[in-house]
């Protein structure tokens, strides 16, 4: 398949998702030769690498076909959650089924953190070849090795501590991920220890202007113009101050060269949403009245709110619109 054909298919899938429809469904089977009658699957697997071991849940859509490698989305749960809870609350598997995407949910256990939080504030988890970011990248590569995945459409997202860890992982592995989605998170490098992390969660980063240069250096070293990013944050978030979401979006937009943004405001799902678009590759959605919860989520999961825009749908729409060149 040539580059033009593949690009047209990417855009068609993104448009279909944005319009609320379904992508064409075909056969399914998480194996090299899928059968036409097989169903989607959602199974556990275990990764072991130099930095450690983690289980993960893997969703394979019914339309999986090796002849057209699908996108891969890595989704990181928040504190006290697990992959099953996060999948239920975001409804991400149903959207992935429509888009023909594979989804992997790495697990952080209570044995590794009492509240099952990804320890995003640890400096070891903010660089390549080290800690949790290396484990998540290792899981990503393992899935890519086991299944036919389009390397231009590998994405990562998450919520709260998982959202910040998604930023850490993408920033430390810019060759691997095409775009990032963050809900209720914070900027890369906001903290390197727990006290600083707690302070930032309450009030925002201590020195936000200093966060831009590290992001710019990552882009420069990786030869990228942008790290495409969509950020959701509740305007009434009492756990992670909304200033963190604003600073996260501006960090990567300014690092990529954005000079200004376009703002719009509308009512979606009963709440007022303020949307800022920076340049070609950064979106910030502030959902007024939303707390520390996944916007438009299902009550079957924790830390969700059925009101507001469907963050899962918008995140996947953004991903499919931003493959690697």
Is 170 part of a structural domain of the chain?
Answer: yes
User: How much is the mean pLDDT over the chain?
Assistant: 90
Identify whether the C-beta of residue 247 lies closer than 8 Å to the C-beta of residue 201: no
Both tokens of 17, joined, read: 């998702």
Greater pLDDT, 13 or 168:
168
pLDDT at 86 over 60: yes
Helix (H, G, I), strand (E, B) or coil at 1: coil
Both tokens of 141, joined, read: 């590569």
Give me Rg for the CA atoms of the chain.
18
The answer to whether the pTM exceeds 0.85 is yes
pLDDT at 249 over 50: yes
Sign of CA dihedral 19, 106, 130, 117: positive
pLDDT single digits (tens) 144-185: 999 999 999 999 999 999 999 999 999 999 999 999 999 999
Is 73 part of a structural domain of the chain?
Answer: yes
* Residue 64: CB atoms within 10 Å: 24
Say what the pLDDT of residue 37 is. Answer: 34
Domain count, the chain: 1
Say what the pLDDT of residue 65 is. Answer: 86
Is 32 part of a structural domain of the chain?
Answer: no
Q: Mean pLDDT across the stretch 57-63?
A: 95
CATH of residue 155: 3.40.50.1820
Domain containing residue 117: 41-320
pLDDT single digits (tens) 206-246: 999 999 999 999 999 999 999 999 999 999 999 999 999 99
Is 27 part of a structural domain of the chain?
Answer: no
Is 24 part of a structural domain of the chain?
Answer: no
Q: Mean pLDDT across the stretch 243-253?
A: 97
Is 229 part of a structural domain of the chain?
Answer: yes
Q: Mean pLDDT across the stretch 244-273?
A: 96
Q: Model confidence at 33, in pLDDT bands (50, 70, 90)? A: very low
Say what the pLDDT of residue 63 is. Answer: 80
Identify whether the C-beta of residue 257 lies closer than 8 Å to the C-beta of residue 318: no
Is 294 part of a structural domain of the chain?
Answer: yes
Say what the pLDDT of residue 315 is. Answer: 98
Q: Model confidence at 299, in pLDDT bands (50, 70, 90)? A: very high
């Amino acid at each position: 398949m040539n580059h033009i054909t593949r690009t047209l298919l990417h855009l068609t899938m993104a448009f279909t998702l944005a319009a609320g429809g379904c992508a064409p469904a075909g056969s399914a089977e998480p194996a090299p030769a899928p059968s036409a009658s097989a169903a989607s699957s959602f199974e556990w697997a275990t990764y072991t690498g130099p930095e450690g071991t983690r289980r993960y849940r893997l969703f394979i859509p019914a339309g999986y076909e090796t002849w057209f490698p699908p996108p891969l989305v890595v989704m990181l749960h928040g504190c006290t959650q697990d992959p099953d809870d996060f999948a239920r609350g975001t409804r991400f598997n149903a959207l992935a089924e429509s888009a023909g995407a594979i989804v992997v949910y790495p697990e952080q256990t209570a044995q590794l953190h009492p509240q099952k939080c990804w320890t995003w504030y640890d400096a070891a988890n903010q660089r390549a070849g080290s800690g949790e970011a290396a484990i998540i990248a290792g899981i990503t590569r393992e899935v890519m090795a086991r299944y036919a995945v389009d390397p231009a459409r590998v994405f990562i997202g998450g919520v709260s501590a998982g959202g910040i860890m998604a930023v850490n992982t993408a920033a430390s592995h810019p060759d691997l991920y095409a775009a990032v989605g963050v809900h209720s998170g914070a900027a890369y490098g906001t903290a390197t220890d727990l006290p600083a992390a707690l302070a930032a969660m309450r009030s925002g980063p201590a020195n936000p202007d200093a966060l831009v240069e590290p992001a710019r250096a990552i882009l420069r070293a990786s030869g990228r113009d942008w790290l495409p990013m969509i950020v959701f944050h509740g305007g009434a978030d009492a756990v992670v101050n909304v200033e963190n979401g604003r600073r996260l979006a501006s960090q990567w937009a300014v690092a990529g060269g954005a000079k200004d943004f376009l703002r719009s405001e509308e009512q979606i799902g009963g709440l007022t949403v303020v949307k800022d678009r920076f340049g070609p590759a950064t979106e910030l959605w502030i959902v007024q009245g939303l707390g520390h919860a996944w916007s438009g989520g299902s009550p079957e999961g924790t830390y969700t709110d059925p009101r507001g825009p469907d963050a899962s749908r918008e995140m996947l729409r953004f991903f499919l619109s931003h493959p690697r060149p």
